[in-house]
Amino acid sequence: MQGGTATVERVFREEYGRLIASLVRRFGDIDIAEEAAGEALVAALEKWPESGVPPNPGGWLTVTAGNRAIDRIRREKQRDAKHQAAFMYHDDTPHERTGPVEDDRLRLLFTCCHPALAPEARIALTLRLLGGLTVAEIAQAFLVPEITMAQRVTRAKKKIAAAKVPYRVPEAADLAERLGGVLAVLFLVFNEGYLTTGDGDPVRAELTGEAIRLTRVLRQLLPEEPEVAGLLGLLLLTDARREARVRNGQLVPLGEQDRAGWDRRLIAEGHGLVRECLAANRPGRYQILAAINAVHTDAPTASDTDWSQVVALYDQLTRLDPSPIVALNRAVAVAELDGPKVALTLVDRLPLTGYHAWHVARADMLRRLGRTAEAKESYDAAIAATQNTAERAYLSRKRGELV
């Protein structure tokens, strides 16, 4: 049915970020915006199932929510000076799909990812206000009690209001640095969905999907920023392998995946973005990671992978980011190019004993070197360091195959 409850909720979710962002601009207050949006949803649930979805549902929601907010501010005007002040922000800019309304979402994204907010609060606020996820959904995704997540979100919103975190795209001089914070949040949201930390569903497609959707919005808004294109390319080329990555509840490593199960449409789009980045010639972290994933997704079979190019790209990445995590990923590629013995020496030097991927890499290299007893120990350490059910299942199988 055209205007059924499910349709209303889907449209509301799709429009939520846009709606909230324009309300925040008009009323200068996140709480007022969220309440008005909630009231507009109630109104839509009453009306649309009878009258059908209006031709411009986002516009309908914005007008309705705006009216509800104004009603509420008028009611409370006398007893609440803050809302009276907020009322002064009122403007009648119509809802449009492009132009200033799009900028509203970008502004709000920079507010949510402001460096003055705690990193976990940035992720939660971004998913709540721009992704339209409920606090309960975010709490579930990050395995914290709902009350903890609610407090985190409330505290961050209070800080935004009290300390006056601006709703503004940073000026050119600060943009690159602040954009880095926004991209990091989107990447973290994606990663949490792609390899979930906890012992629930091993993959959470709603998080990977939301990260991609928000990165697409960012890409529309900042088409000239190669790192945005790079991140989108990286996410698409990674997500393209999602279906092939878990089989019978077990994680399937890249080399053993059924490449026919990869999403060719996403790969083509990702490769296009990587080519665009190469042409822009302003390399950055996400662009290089995207390029590495382009090499992987370019190979018809695992043995066709151009590992020398992968290692060369990791060398380039190391120059930008000489972190042990990058060194670990580089070593995994070196194992394919120069063999596990060389790679193991590199891995053993890294201060990552608390990181499950370090144990996974070591276990695999020791196994290939025939050092079975040590490999078993490493598999045990890796299993103990991860809660992801699919990864544990895979590692347990590999350990069990050792004789």
Partner 1 sequence: MTHYLLTVHGPAEMDEFGSYGSKEEMEEAFAATGAFNDKLHADGYWVFAGGLQSASTATVVDGQGETPVMTDGPYLETKEVIGGFWVIDAPDLDVALRLAAEGSKACRGKVEVRPFDGLA
Q: Could you tell me which stretch among 32-40, 118-126, 156-164, 327-335 binds partner 1 (CB under 8 A)?
A: 156-164
| Distance of closest approach, residue 171 Cβ to partner 1, in angstroms | 9
| Distance of closest approach, residue 267 Cβ to partner 1, in angstroms | 40
Pick between residue 108 and residue 232 the one whose CB is nearest to partner 1. 108
Among 10, 168, 264, 319, contact with partner 1 (rule: CB under 8 A): 168
Among 170, 180, 209, 261, contact with partner 1 (rule: CB under 8 A): 170
SS (H, E, C) the chain: CCCCHHHHHHHHHHHHHHHHHHHHHHHCCHHHHHHHHHHHHHHHHHHHHHHCCCCCHHHHHHHHHHHHHHHHHHHHCCCCHHHHHHHCCCCCCCCCCCCHHHHHHHHHHHHHCCCCCCHHHHHHHHHHHHCCCCHHHHHHHCCCCHHHHHHHHHHHHHHHHHCCCCCCCCCHHHHHHHHHHHHHHHHHHHHHHHCCCCCCCCCCHHHHHHHHHHHHHHHHHCCCCHHHHHHHHHHHHHHCCHHHHEECCEECCHHHCCHHHCCHHHHHHHHHHHHHHHHHCCCCHHHHHHHHHHHHHHCCCHHHCCHHHHHHHHHHHHHHCCCHHHHHHHHHHHHHHHCHHHHHHHHHCCCCCCCHHHHHHHHHHHHHCCCHHHHHHHHHHHHHCCCCHHHHHHHHHHHHHCC
| Distance of closest approach, residue 165 Cβ to partner 1, in angstroms | 5
Pick between residue 112 and residue 331 the one whose CB is nearest to partner 1. 112
Pick between residue 166 and residue 200 the one whose CB is nearest to partner 1. 166
Taking the CA atoms of 333, 334, 338 and 339 in sequence, report the sign of the dihedral they define.
negative
| Distance of closest approach, residue 163 Cβ to partner 1, in angstroms | 5
Binding mask 98-137 vs partner 1 (x if CB under 8 A, - otherwise)? Answer: ----------------x-x---------------------
| Distance of closest approach, residue 103 Cβ to partner 1, in angstroms | 17
Site for partner 1 contains 81 (CB under 8 A): no
Pick between residue 174 and residue 258 the one whose CB is nearest to partner 1. 174
Site for partner 1 contains 157 (CB under 8 A): no
Size of the site for partner 1 (CB under 8 A): 10
Pick between residue 116 and residue 325 the one whose CB is nearest to partner 1. 116
Site for partner 1 contains 162 (CB under 8 A): yes
| Distance of closest approach, residue 166 Cβ to partner 1, in angstroms | 4
Site for partner 1 contains 163 (CB under 8 A): yes
Q: Could you tell me which stretch among 96-104, 129-137, 160-168, 196-204 binds partner 1 (CB under 8 A)?
A: 160-168
Site for partner 1 contains 403 (CB under 8 A): no
Contact 380, 367 (CB under 8 A): no
Among 20, 37, 129, 165, contact with partner 1 (rule: CB under 8 A): 165
Subset of residues 171 to 200 that bind partner 1, contact rule: CB under 8 A: 174
Question: Using CB under 8 A as the criterion, which residues of the chain lie in contact with partner 1 when the complex forms?
Answer: 114, 116, 162-166, 168, 170, 174
